[in-house]
């Protein structure tokens, strides 16, 4: 796709401008589209940092569509969230299908658990899947919908509660699927989804499905996504952690509970065999409960490392003996073997038993892998979340796996996000993901926003180190001053739940503005309340640092309590740092600092969402001034004025109001005094 072709599409009088009443000409969008077109044509990889307002979605979609049609090849677009995936399929792609002269087809694919299973719904009458009579109406609604829907996508059931307790018993998740032996295989929603994708030019997936597919390609389970010539990753800064999840191993109490439950509902008519399976399943259930209860960390939520002596210890004589957890594991493993043996016979002729046997063996394999701890490139830990216990093993470094499975095999990979660089370079992302520097280029798309006039950064003086006890109290005081200057209308983004709760309690008691806190209602509900309430203040943690869009003066201030360094005691973070140090690197400079910069830029990106937005970025962490690395952090942020004078904050907002009303705006303080440019 040539530059002249792109101008005909993106130009001020181009196809998009003629088809979209509010289209804005953006040089950065055209520049990005040119780079994407070149990479797809030359079969190269490309990293693109495209900040808010660049128009990156169309900047990668249009070259992708052109390349797909020109070369008759399928291109996959992978998004960071299902919400973005749905936006592409419901808004951006239909618009392009109307606007572009050449016709193309597109399909979307989600993870199997998003879809209903016709077979399991039809069999539900023979199994106790409802937890109470109050769910009967909901189940009837789902059953009726399953006979009418063309997609089977759970999202269509917007009139039902989000957390249907029985959905896990009737969805199409892969570990319970009986495949082509299913009598409903042809009309299955998964079969239909795959057929649509096989005939599409553009296939839209999300990162979780993409890496689940990448992990199983080439093994006995085959592939989920049809073959593709190129892939575009939107929100590509999320790739490393998601890939680590899918290239790892996991076993949970939920997984074992489902095995036991499904074993009890196998359609077997032999009474003797049924009793044998029931006894084996009951044994697994009891021993699994003992196993989870013996972990020292079983009583509190969080992530805890599994050390080499978790399951066995050496005696003074040099022999090894199992710990209490190890003894429980040995007993549980024997019970799983017994269940395996009981199911193996009927599995030869009964598809449900074959599926259950596969799941039981996978659970045993994963459990043995975690307990053995023999792979040095893996980190092993236990995670407790509410009622859930998870034993996990993840690769410490995914770069080689990604290079081997993805970047060396796919012609072109485009990775884009609003935050991809650190210190103006892409070395961090390139190294962490295993991208070959000779085949990969980086590009920072020019922003259409003028941060120097739209935003001001406030860095208070005389704040104590964030690790000291007095930091929270003084931070609360600074937040109160800022809220008075901005009249609320603020996000307070915190790096931990503890900090969020403490600041919320101290600040909300001292201001009259309506204050909301994450966890009090759903994420979508909080955003809706924030948008509809006058002068609101929202206290939140990590999930609100990205993917949140509040335009206009309703959000005029983003306050960040501390630099978002990863928790050093987290097992995966600690293992990655140790791996870098042991291989001659510097874990702080090579991992902790670049990650923090990218996360900080995500948080700052909540403020300026349009050309008319004005506002204040406040970072309360004094390390920006006191530590040598502070300059590198500041230089990585959008260029804007920086001040430590709270009066400048009010003056900036007043100037913005006057500019909006057409009045003469007073100048900001002399940048050579207390204020400077980031």
pLDDT digits 0-9 by tens, 157-182: 878 877 788 888 888 887 778 888 88
In a domain, 282, yes or no: yes
Arithmetic mean of pLDDT, 276-290 = 95
Question: What is the rounded distance in angstroms from the CA atom of residue 473 to the CA atom of residue 464?
Answer: 10
254 in the same domain as 379? yes
Q: Is the pLDDT of residue 69 over 70?
A: yes
Sheet strands (E) in 535-597: 537-540, 557-560
CB atoms within 10 A of CB 327: 16
Q: What is the pLDDT of residue 363?
A: 94
CATH number of the domain to which 349 belongs:
1.20.120
Model-level pTM? 0.86
Q: How far is CA 203 from CA 109, 293, 300, in A?
A: 7, 44, 42
614 in the same domain as 480? yes
pLDDT single digits (tens) 468-526 = 999 999 999 999 999 999 999 999 999 999 999 999 999 999 999 999 999 887 777 88
pLDDT single digits (tens) 415-469 = 999 889 888 889 999 999 999 888 999 999 888 788 888 889 999 988 999 999 9
Residue 270: domain span: 250-395
pLDDT single digits (tens) 83-104 = 788 889 999 999 999 989 899 9
329 in the same domain as 375? yes
Residue 447: name the closest of 604, 574, 250, 578 by CA: 604
In a domain, 193, yes or no: no
Q: Do the bridges between strand 202-206 and strand 388-395 make them parallel or antiparallel, or are there none, so unpaired? A: unpaired
Q: Give the range among 32-36, 81-85, 115-119, 628-632 with minimum mean pLDDT.
A: 81-85
69 in the same domain as 213? yes
123 in the same domain as 85? no
Question: What is the rounded distance in angstroms from the CA atom of residue 4 to the CA atom of residue 399?
Answer: 37
Q: Is the pLDDT of residue 131 over 70?
A: no
pLDDT single digits (tens) 359-385 = 999 999 999 999 999 998 999 999 998
The answer to whether residues 417 and 240 touch, using CB atoms and an 8 Å cutoff, is: no
For 648, half-sphere exposure in the C-beta direction (CA atoms, 13 angstrom radius) is: 23
In a domain, 191, yes or no: no
Q: What is the pLDDT of residue 545?
A: 80
389 in the same domain as 288? yes
Signed CA dihedral, 515, 517, 521, 525: sign only: positive
33 in the same domain as 177? no
Q: Which of the four pLDDT bands, split at 50, 70 and 90, describes residue 673? A: very low
pLDDT single digits (tens) 544-587 = 887 777 878 888 999 999 999 998 889 999 999 999 999 999 99
Arithmetic mean of pLDDT, 600-608 = 85
Q: What is the pLDDT of residue 670?
A: 35
Q: What is the pLDDT of residue 127?
A: 60
Q: What is the pLDDT of residue 612?
A: 79
In a domain, 132, yes or no: yes
Both tokens of residue 99? 């606007």
pLDDT single digits (tens) 286-295 = 999 999 999 9
For the packed helices 471-486 and 646-661, what is the interaxial angle rounded to 10 degrees? 20
Residue ending a domain, among 182, 210, 226, is 182
Q: What is the pLDDT of residue 607?
A: 82
The answer to whether residues 594 and 636 touch, using CB atoms and an 8 Å cutoff, is: no
CB atoms within 10 A of CB 266: 20
DSSP secondary structure letter of residue 665: P
Return the percentage of the chain with pLDDT > 90, whole number. Answer: 59
Q: Is the pLDDT of residue 317 over 90?
A: no
Q: What is the pLDDT of residue 611?
A: 78
Count of domains for the chain: 4
In a domain, 192, yes or no: no
In a domain, 270, yes or no: yes
Q: What is the pLDDT of residue 674?
A: 38
Residue 170: name the closest of 191, 145, 148 by CA: 145
pLDDT single digits (tens) 193-236 = 999 999 999 999 999 999 999 988 766 556 889 999 999 999 99
Residue 640: name the closest of 405, 516, 455 by CA: 455
> Residue 560: beta bridge partners?
493, 619
What length does the chain have?
678
pLDDT single digits (tens) 612-642 = 788 999 999 999 999 999 999 999 988 889 9
Average pLDDT, the chain: 88
Q: Which residues fall within 8 angstroms of residue 612, CB to CB, at 6 or more apart?
A: 552, 660
In a domain, 634, yes or no: yes
Q: What is the pLDDT of residue 219?
A: 62
Q: Is the pLDDT of residue 668 over 60?
A: no
For the packed helices 3-10 and 56-71, what is the interaxial angle rounded to 10 degrees? 130
Q: What is the pLDDT of residue 23?
A: 75
In a domain, 195, yes or no: no
Arithmetic mean of pLDDT, 69-77 = 94
Residue 457: name the closest of 344, 322, 604, 597 by CA: 604
Q: Which residues fall within 8 angstroms of residue 142, CB to CB, at 6 or more apart?
A: 116, 121, 157, 160, 164, 170
Q: Which residues fall within 8 angstroms of residue 76, CB to CB, at 6 or more apart?
A: 202, 203, 204, 205, 210, 225, 228, 230, 231, 232
307 in the same domain as 212? no
Both tokens of residue 540? 């939140």
- In this structure, the dihedral spanned by the alpha carbons of residues 598, 599, 600 and 604, taken in order and rounded to 10 degrees, is 100
Arithmetic mean of pLDDT, 139-151 = 91
319 in the same domain as 290? yes
CATH number of the domain to which 557 belongs:
3.40.50.300
pLDDT single digits (tens) 318-347 = 788 999 999 999 999 999 999 999 999 999
494 in the same domain as 518? yes
Sheet strands (E) in 402-529: 412-417, 440-445, 455-458, 490-493, 515-517
Q: How far is CA 101 from CA 80, 250, 288, in A?
A: 29, 48, 60
- Strands of the sheet containing 302-305, edge to edge, are 249-252, 388-395, 378-385, 302-305
141 in the same domain as 92? no
Q: What is the pLDDT of residue 667?
A: 36
Residue 130: name the closest of 92, 178, 165 by CA: 165
440 in the same domain as 464? no
Q: Is the pLDDT of residue 276 over 80?
A: yes
Both tokens of residue 673? 């005094």
Q: Is the pLDDT of residue 675 over 50?
A: no
- pLDDT: which is higher, 7 or 68: 68
Arithmetic mean of pLDDT, 593-609 = 87
Arithmetic mean of pLDDT, 638-651 = 89
Q: Which of 49-63, 127-141, 191-205 is the most confident on average?
A: 191-205
Return the percentage of the chain with pLDDT > 70, whole number. Answer: 94
């Amino acid at each position: 796709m040539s530059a002249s072709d792109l101008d005909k599409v993106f130009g001020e009088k181009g196809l998009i401008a003629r088809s979209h009443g509010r289209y804005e000409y953006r040089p950065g969008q055209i520049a990005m589209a040119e780079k994407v077109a070149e990479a797809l044509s030359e079969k190269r990889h490309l990293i693109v940092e495209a900040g808010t307002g660049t128009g990156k979605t169309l900047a990668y979609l249009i070259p992708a569509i052109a390349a797909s049609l020109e070369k008759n090849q399928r291109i996959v677009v992978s998004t960071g969230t299902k919400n973005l995936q749905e936006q592409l399929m419901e808004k951006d792609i239909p618009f392009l299908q109307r606007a572009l002269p050449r016709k193309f087809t597109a399909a979307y694919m989600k993870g199997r658990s998003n879809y209903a299973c016709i077979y399991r719904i039809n069999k539900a009458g023979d199994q106790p899947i409802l937890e109470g009579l109050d769910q009967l109406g909901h189940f009837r609604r789902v059953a009726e919908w399953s006979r009418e829907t063309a997609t089977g996508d759970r999202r269509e059931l917007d009139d039902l509660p989000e957390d249907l307790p029985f959905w896990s018993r009737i969805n199409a998740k892969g570990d319970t699927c009986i495949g082509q032996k299913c009598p409903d295989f042809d009309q299955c929603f998964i079969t239909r989804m795959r057929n649509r994708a096989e005939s599409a030019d553009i296939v839209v997936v999300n990162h979780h499905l993409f890496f689940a597919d990448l992990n199983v390609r080439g093994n006995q389970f085959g592939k989920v996504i049809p073959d593709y010539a190129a892939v575009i990753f939107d929100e590509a800064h999320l790739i490393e952690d998601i890939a680590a999840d899918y290239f790892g191993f996991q076993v949970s109490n939920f997984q074992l509970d489902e095995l036991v439950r499904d074993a009890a509902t196998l359609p077997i008519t032999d009474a003797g065999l049924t009793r044998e399976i029931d006894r084996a399943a009951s044994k697994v259930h009891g021993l699994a409960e003992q196993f989870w209860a013996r972990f020292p960390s079983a009583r509190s939520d969080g992530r805890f490392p599994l050390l080499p002596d978790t399951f066995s210890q050496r005696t003074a004589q040099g022999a090894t003996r199992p710990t209490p957890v190890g003894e429980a594991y040995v007993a549980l493993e024997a019970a799983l073997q017994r269940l395996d043996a009981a199911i193996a016979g009927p599995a030869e002729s009964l598809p449900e038993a074959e599926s259950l046997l596969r799941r039981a063996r996978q659970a045993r394999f994963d459990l043995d892998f975690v307990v053995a701890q023999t792979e040095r490139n893996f980190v092993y830990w236990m995670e407790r979340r509410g009622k859930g216990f998870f034993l996990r093993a993840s690769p410490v470094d995914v770069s080689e796996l990604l290079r081997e499975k993805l970047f060396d095999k796919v012609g072109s990979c485009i990775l884009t996000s609003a935050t991809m660089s650190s210190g103006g370079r892409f070395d961090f992302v390139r190294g962490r993901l295993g991208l070959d520097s000779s085949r990969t280029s980086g590009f920072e798309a020019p922003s259409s926003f003028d941060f120097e006039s739209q935003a001001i950064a406030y860095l208070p003086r005389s704040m104590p180190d964030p690790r000291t006890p007095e930091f929270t109290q003084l931070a609360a005081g600074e937040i109160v001053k800022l809220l008075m200057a901005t009249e609320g209308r603020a996000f307070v983004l915190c790096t931990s739940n503890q900090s969020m709760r403490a600041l919320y309690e101290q600040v909300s008691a001292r201001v009259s503005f309506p204050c909301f806190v994450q966890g009090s209602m759903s994420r979508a509900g909080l955003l809706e309340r924030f948008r509809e309430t006058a002068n609101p203040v929202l206290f939140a943690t990590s999930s609100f640092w990205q993917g949140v869009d509040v335009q206009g003066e309703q959000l005029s201030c983003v306050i960040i309590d501390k630099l978002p360094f990863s928790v050093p005691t987290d097992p995966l973070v600690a293992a990655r740092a140790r791996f870098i140090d042991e291989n001659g690197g510097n874990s702080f400079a090579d991992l902790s600092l670049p990650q923090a910069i990218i996360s900080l830029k995500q948080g700052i990106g909540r403020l300026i969402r349009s050309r008319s937005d004005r506002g204040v970025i406040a970072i309360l962490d004094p390390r920006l001034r006191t530590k040598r690395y502070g300059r590198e952090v500041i230089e990585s942020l959008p260029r804007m004025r920086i001040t430590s004078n709270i009066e400048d904050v009010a003056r900036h907002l007043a100037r913005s109001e006057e500019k909006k009303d057409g009045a003469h705006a007073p100048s900001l303080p002399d940048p050579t005094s207390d204020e400077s440019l980031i």
